[in-house]
A and B are shown apart, each in its own frame.
Chain A
Amino acid sequence: MAVITMREAISQALWEEMERDDRVFILGEEVGVWGGTYAVTKGFFDHFGPKRVRDTPIAEGVIVGAANGAAMAGLRPVAELMTINFAFLAMDQIVNHSAKLHSMFGGQFTVPLVIRAVGGGGRQLGATHSQTPDAVFAHFPGLKVIAPGTPQDAKGLLKSAIRSDDPVLFIEHATLYQMRGEVPDGEITEPIGVSKVQRLGRDVTIVTYSKMLQTSLQASAELANEGIEAEVVDLRTLRPLDMGPVVESFKRTNRAVIVEEGWPSFGIGAEVASRLYEQAFDYVDAPIRRVAQKEAPLPYNRTLEQMALPQVSDVVRAVKEVL
Chain B
Amino acid sequence: MISSGSAGLLQRRENMEASEMLRLYREMVLVRRLEEAAASLYQEGKIGGFLHLYIGQEAVGSGVVSARRPEDRVITAYRDHGIAIAAGMPARVVLAELLGKATGCSKGMGGSMHLADVRLNFWGGHAIVGAHLPLAVGMALADRYRERQAVTICFFGEGATNIGYFHEALNLAALWKLPVLWVCENNKYGMGTSVERASAVEEIRQKAEAYGIPGARVNGMDVLEVRGAAEQALEHVRREGPFLLEAITYRYRGHSMGDPERYRRSDEVRKWQEEDPIGILRKRILEEKASREAALDRLETEVEEEIGEAVRFAEESPEPAPEALFEHVYAEKGA
Interface residues of A (CB under 8 A from B): 25, 51, 56-57, 59, 61-62, 64-75, 77, 92-93, 96-97, 102-112, 141-142, 144, 164-166, 192-193, 240
How far is it, in angstroms, between the C-alpha of A70 and the C-alpha of B116 when the chains are bound?
17
- Take A93-B134, A97-B131, A106-B107 as given contacts and tell me if A62 and B332 are in contact as well, using a CB distance cutoff of 8 Å: no
Whether A62 and B335, one on each chain, are in contact in the complex, defined by CB atoms closer than 8 angstroms, is no
- Determine how close the nearest CB of chain A comes to the CB of B278; give it in whole angstroms: 30
9 inter-chain pairs at a CB distance below 8 angstroms, sorted by A residue, are A59-B168, A71-B138, A73-B142, A77-B138, A102-B328, A105-B105, A106-B105, A165-B331, A166-B331
How far is it, in angstroms, between the C-alpha of A56 and the C-alpha of B138 when the chains are bound?
13
Whether A142 and B329, one on each chain, are in contact in the complex, defined by CB atoms closer than 8 angstroms, is yes
How far is it, in angstroms, between the C-alpha of A96 and the C-alpha of B126 when the chains are bound?
10
Chain B interface bracket (under 10, 10 to 19, 20 to 34, 35 or more): 35 or more
Whether A70 and B142, one on each chain, are in contact in the complex, defined by CB atoms closer than 8 angstroms, is yes
Chain A contacts for B165, CB-based, 8 A: 61-62, 65
Closest to B142 in A: A73
Q: What 0/1 pattern do residues 112 to 137 of B give for CB contact below 8 A with A?
A: 00101110000111001001011111
How far is it, in angstroms, between the C-alpha of A67 and the C-alpha of B104 when the chains are bound?
27
Whether A103 and B131, one on each chain, are in contact in the complex, defined by CB atoms closer than 8 angstroms, is no
Chain B contacts for A25, CB-based, 8 A: 145
Question: A69-B134, A103-B329, A105-B109 are known contacts; what are 18 more A-B pairs with Cβ within 8 Å?
Answer: A59-B168, A59-B171, A61-B134, A62-B171, A62-B172, A65-B134, A65-B165, A66-B172, A68-B138, A70-B145, A93-B134, A97-B128, A102-B330, A103-B109, A105-B125, A107-B107, A107-B327, A144-B335
B164 sits at the interface (CB 8 A): yes
Chain A contacts for B73, CB-based, 8 A: 73
Q: What 0/1 pattern do residues 129 to 154 of B give for CB contact below 8 A with A?
A: 00101111111111101000000000
B175 sits at the interface (CB 8 A): yes
Whether A70 and B330, one on each chain, are in contact in the complex, defined by CB atoms closer than 8 angstroms, is no
Across the interface, B331 reaches (CB within 8 A) one of A64, A73, A96, A102, namely A102
Whether B137 and A62, one on each chain, are in contact in the complex, defined by CB atoms closer than 8 angstroms, is yes
Chain A contacts for B187, CB-based, 8 A: none
Chain A contacts for B133, CB-based, 8 A: 65
Whether A65 and B335, one on each chain, are in contact in the complex, defined by CB atoms closer than 8 angstroms, is no
Q: Which of B109, B110, B117, B142 has the most CB of A within 10 A?
A: B142
Whether B128 and A96, one on each chain, are in contact in the complex, defined by CB atoms closer than 8 angstroms, is yes
- Take A25-B145, A51-B145, A97-B131 as given contacts and tell me if A166 and B138 are in contact as well, using a CB distance cutoff of 8 Å: no
Chain A contacts for B110, CB-based, 8 A: 104-106
Whether A70 and B332, one on each chain, are in contact in the complex, defined by CB atoms closer than 8 angstroms, is no
Whether B328 and A166, one on each chain, are in contact in the complex, defined by CB atoms closer than 8 angstroms, is no
Across the interface, B137 reaches (CB within 8 A) one of A51, A69, A71, A103, namely A69
Closest to A144 in B: B335
Closest to B335 in A: A240
How far is it, in angstroms, between the C-alpha of A96 and the C-alpha of B142 when the chains are bound?
21
Q: Which of A64, A104, A166 has the most CB of B within 10 A?
A: A104
- Determine how close the nearest CB of chain B comes to the CB of A159; give it in whole angstroms: 15
Whether A69 and B136, one on each chain, are in contact in the complex, defined by CB atoms closer than 8 angstroms, is yes
Across the interface, B135 reaches (CB within 8 A) one of A57, A72, A165, A166, namely A72
Chain B contacts for A144, CB-based, 8 A: 330, 335
